[in-house]
Amino acid sequence: MNESRTRDYYDDFASTYEVGRGRGYHALIDELEASSVIPFAAGKRVLEVGCGTGLVLEKLAPHAAHAVGIDLSPGMLEHARRRGLDVHLGSATQLPFEAESFDVVCSFKVLAHVPDIDAALREVSRVLRPGGVAVLEFYNRASLRYLARLAAGARRIGRAHREDDISTRWDTAATITKRLPPDLRIERFVGVRIVTPAAILYRAPLLGSALSRAERALSEGRFAKFGGFLIAVARKG
């Protein structure tokens, strides 16, 4: 898929992207993603690749010396700029930054939709300083979320698109490890959405609270590799 079609998809998605995201399941996902970066962000230059409307970047900015976002979609960036964030238009496969210009590079809900994933990962490594940390999220085939997506099929997105209008790749911990450039060494995995079979369950307050506690408790450790969103924490060296 060419980038213009992907841009159209996300420009359309921008109109509804934040509906309901401030509570329940979506708020938990954003919290866990941001929490995987915050320990590395203090006093550092942080780049989020595919920042969207800035929901995660907004959580990172108070901790970083400078937090920057990039996204392919002008529609998404319009929302991020309203948050007062430093964001730029650009592609994950051609980052408009000099080599070794960031201490931390992160990306969430994006890399699974980049067809030329190897080019994107090379760009992450290029702009990352030696000793810097990459926090990169992939979609995990070895997860309840994958099975749930197979059962549910493609949903409507925005006004005129469906989820299957863009490509989606499902990886595993093993394939992620093989894909990363040789100068990025995985230190650990963080799992997001490990035991949640369906987001709708968070609408039941007691069940939602129980699932939230379980997700936080299991996000790191032996069960992390079963997260529907699988975050690789890697260091450049």
**How many domains are contained in the chain?**
1
Verdict on whether the full-model pTM lies above 0.85: yes
Q: What is the dihedral of CA 229, 187, 111, 199, to 10 degrees?
A: 10
Residue entry with tokens 């998809």 = 9
* Domain range enclosing 102: 3-236
Give CA–CA dist 199/193, Å, rounded: 9
- pLDDT at position 165 is 85
Question: Digits of tens for pLDDT over the chain (237 positions)?
Answer: 478 888 989 988 998 999 888 899 999 999 999 999 999 999 999 999 999 999 999 999 999 999 999 999 999 999 999 999 999 999 999 999 999 999 999 999 999 999 999 999 999 999 999 999 999 999 999 999 999 999 988 888 888 899 888 999 999 999 999 999 999 999 999 999 999 999 999 999 999 999 999 999 999 999 999 999 999 999 999
CATH (domain of 127): 3.40.50.150
Give CA–CA dist 237/235, Å, rounded: 6
3-state SS, residue 208: helix
Are 201 and 177 spatial neighbours (Cβ–Cβ below 8 Å)?
no
* Tokens, residue 135: 């926090």
- pLDDT at position 187 is 97
130 CB burial (10 A radius; 0-12, 13-18, 19+): exposed
Radius of gyration of the chain (CA): 17
